[in-house]
Amino acid sequence: MSKNRPFTDKLRFALAGWRHAWRSEVNFRRQVWIGGAAVLVVIAVRAPLVWLALTVLCIGMVWALELANTAVEELVDLVSPERRVVAGKIKDLMAGAVLFAALASLVVGVCALWVALG
């Protein structure tokens, strides 16, 4: 596959990845809904723009890590269809990264509410 494809092709591939994650990953759908709701709440309470930006950045980080987690899980399943300890550790590490980002996002969201309502 050529790396010098037009931008529109690359965008189409990226959107296909999002569609795949949306259709196949319950956690991705859940995080999209929760993230969207969090942004709406931060807007509704009129948090300062910097807190809205931080919230969106953190949510984007969670979504990106969830997409990476999905890719790594599928790759691990492809190269190691049988159960192996190291395959489980790889999946656990990626899940831990997503959890860490989600918890950090929660802290940022709480701080945004604290500033807006405090």
Is 19 labelled a binding residue?
A: yes
Q: Name the helix (H) or strand (E) containing 64.
A: helix 49-79
Residue 23 lies in a domain: yes
CB-based contacts of 97-104 (< 8 A; 24+ apart in sequence) = 97/65, 97/68, 97/69, 98/27, 98/62, 98/65, 98/66, 98/69, 101/58, 101/61, 101/62, 101/65, 102/31, 102/62, 104/58, 104/61
Is 18 labelled a binding residue?
A: no
Residue 1 lies in a domain: no
* CB 49 within 8 Å of CB 109: no
> Average pLDDT for consecutive 10-residue bins of the chain (118 residues)?
84 95 95 97 97 98 97 95 92 97 97 95
Residue 46 lies in a domain: yes
CATH number of residue 102's parent domain: 1.10.287.3610
Is 74 labelled a binding residue?
A: no
Residue 2 lies in a domain: no
Query: What pLDDT does residue 1 have?
Result: 56
The residues that are catalytic are: 66
Domain with 69 in it: 7-117
Number of domains in the chain: 1
Query: What pLDDT does residue 33 have?
Result: 97
Is 21 labelled a binding residue?
A: yes
